[in-house]
Amino acid sequence: MLMPTGQVPPTGYRISIPMAVSSRVGEDELIVGEHRYDDLMGMALQLGLI
């Protein structure tokens, strides 16, 4: 995993990352946009990075 401070070596930890996905659907019922919201702070805490 690449972080601003450099590459983080594998930790072997099992983590859980809550996330939400918001999709925008067009008139033809196809997805035209999508935003994903991940708990990156929670992930960093679980990995012991902070």
Give the whole-angstrom CA distance, residue 34 versus residue 13: 29
Per residue in 2-42, pLDDT tens?
Answer: 778 889 888 888 999 999 999 999 999 999 999 999 998 99
| Res 35: pLDDT | 96
Backbone conformation region of residue 38, classed left if phi is above 0, alpha if psi is from -120 to 50, else beta: beta
Say what the pLDDT of residue 49 is. Answer: 83
Q: What is the pTM of this model?
A: 0.61
- pLDDT at 37 (0 to 100): 94
Q: What is the pLDDT of residue 9?
A: 87
Residue 6: per-residue pLDDT: 86
